[in-house]
């Protein structure tokens, strides 16, 4: 009796192990196939992450195996081994620093995986802003400098000799913009680590009415609105914790020459507040363009161009969709 039971159990257990092995092989094969399909379609970033985990291509346990993987704004994979850091023009990337392609002329931007990183909103703003010959450009709330660098890449052939000053409060982000300028051999960029509220102080007065164009991708959210689950250094890039819309408007009016332009991105539902706040500092909104998530949905962002000393008359451009 016991021998018969032992024999039946062995057969059933062997069958169980066989089916487990078949299931594992089938699952891994399916993951590889679906992963290739997703790569071709440039979609499913979350699903791709789960596939990477299942196929053992996401490493975090050691420097030798650690990979940094991210989907860029066009869905391309950006992967760089931490043990294979590049060096160029005297710039060596730090342990958590990675190069991301700006998708123009092979230019790169240095990012830190621990800090706030740019989104496609910044690229939209750089395309919306129109440069003019001889422009002296300021980038407010510059972060790692993506708006100014991308704007320069778009205009460097048509408008040569433009000069840029990048204003950023966080030292770590300001240092990244310096590295990016050096990496790409840009000698027309200056990075200034300061609060915009400090522009009025004596050491900073050289920037009074010094610019013909100010670019600004500011914190969108009011303090206390929404969830506060971000780390502080990331939260201040999204929320008006250290800098308000009114303070940005005052700094822009102070830094712009008469007739100078402010190109800014903000939440669509705050457009009336943006117009009112800029009007109070003698900047009139002249161009307005809304940004929607997909066709048929209401806009979630708005891009504006204001002119210091301009007349109160606005042109509204067709809505674009950031799908």
| DSSP conformational letter for 206 | G
* CB proximity list for 271: less than 8 A, separation 6 or greater: 288, 302, 304
Alpha helices in 101-206 (DSSP H): 120-128, 146-155, 171-183
* CB proximity list for 41: less than 8 A, separation 6 or greater: none
CATH of domain 112-321: 3.40.50.150
Helix (H, G, I), strand (E, B) or coil at 148: helix
Q: Does the CA dihedral 47-53-55-57 come out positive or negative? A: positive
Helix (H, G, I), strand (E, B) or coil at 141: coil
Return d(Cα 213, Cα 126) in angstroms, integer.
12
Q: Determine the pLDDT at residue 64.
A: 35
Return d(Cα 89, Cα 183) in angstroms, integer.
6
Instruction: Please state the pTM of the whole predicted model.
Output: 0.73
Q: Determine the pLDDT at residue 89.
A: 77
Burial code (b: 16+ CB inside 10 Å, e: under 16) for 76-105 equals eeeebebeeeeeeeebebeeebbbbebeee
Q: Phi and psi for 135 in degrees, rounded to 5?
A: -60, 140
Q: Are 320 and 289 in contact (CB under 8 A)?
A: yes
Q: Determine the pLDDT at residue 137.
A: 99
Q: Determine the pLDDT at residue 320.
A: 96
Return d(Cα 209, Cα 308) in angstroms, integer.
11
* CB proximity list for 310: less than 8 A, separation 6 or greater: 259, 283, 284, 286
Ranges of each domain in the chain? 2-93, 112-321
Burial code (b: 16+ CB inside 10 Å, e: under 16) for 275-300 equals bebbeebebbbbbbbbbbeeeeeebe
Q: How many other C-beta atoms are found inside a 10 Å radius of the C-beta of residue 230?
A: 14
Q: Determine the pLDDT at residue 175.
A: 95
Alpha helices in 118-231 (DSSP H): 120-128, 146-155, 171-183
Q: Mean pLDDT, 10 residues at a time, over the chain (323 residues)?
A: 54 67 64 45 37 34 37 44 64 91 90 85 95 97 94 94 96 95 96 95 92 97 68 81 96 98 98 98 98 93 98 96 86
Q: Determine the pLDDT at residue 61.
A: 34
Q: Phi and psi for 242 in degrees, rounded to 5?
A: -110, -5
Q: Write out the H or E segment, with its range, that includes residue 11.
A: helix 2-41
């Amino acid at each position: 009796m016991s021998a018969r039971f032992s024999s039946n159990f062995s057969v059933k257990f062997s069958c169980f192990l066989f089916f487990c092995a078949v299931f594992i092989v089938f699952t891994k094969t399916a993951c590889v196939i679906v992963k290739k399909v997703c790569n071709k379609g440039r979609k499913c970033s979350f699903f791709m992450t789960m596939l990477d985990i299942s196929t053992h291509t996401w490493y975090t346990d050691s420097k030798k195996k650690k990979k940094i993987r991210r989907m860029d704004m066009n869905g391309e994979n950006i992967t760089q081994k931490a043990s294979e850091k590049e060096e160029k023009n005297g710039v060596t990337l730090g342990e958590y620093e990675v190069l991301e392609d700006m998708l123009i002329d092979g230019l790169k931007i240095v990012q830190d995986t621990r800090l706030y990183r740019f989104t496609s909103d910044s690229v939209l703003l750089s395309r919306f802003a129109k440069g003019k010959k001889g422009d002296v450009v300021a980038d407010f709330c510059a972060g790692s400098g993506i708006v100014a660098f991308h704007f320069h890449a778009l205009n460097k052939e048509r408008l040569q000799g433009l000069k840029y000053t990048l204003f950023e409060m966080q030292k770590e982000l300001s240092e990244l913009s310096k590295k990016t300028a050096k990496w790409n051999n840009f000698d027309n960029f200056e990075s200034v680590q300061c609060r915009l509220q400090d522009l009025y102080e004596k050491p900073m007065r050289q920037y009074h009415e010094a610019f013909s164009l100010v670019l600004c991708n500011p914190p969108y959210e009011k303090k206390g609105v929404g969830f506060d689950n971000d780390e502080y250094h990331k939260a201040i890039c999204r929320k008006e914790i250290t800098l308000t819309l009114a303070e940005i408007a005052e700094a822009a009016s102070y830094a712009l020459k008469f007739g100078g332009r402010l190109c800014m991105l903000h939440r669509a539902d705050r457009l009336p507040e943006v117009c009112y706040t800029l009007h109070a500092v003698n900047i009139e909104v002249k161009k307005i363009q809304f940004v929607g998530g997909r066709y048929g949905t209401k806009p979630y962002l708005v891009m504006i161009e204001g002119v210091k000393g301009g007349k109160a008359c606005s042109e509204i451009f067709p809505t674009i969709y950031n799908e």
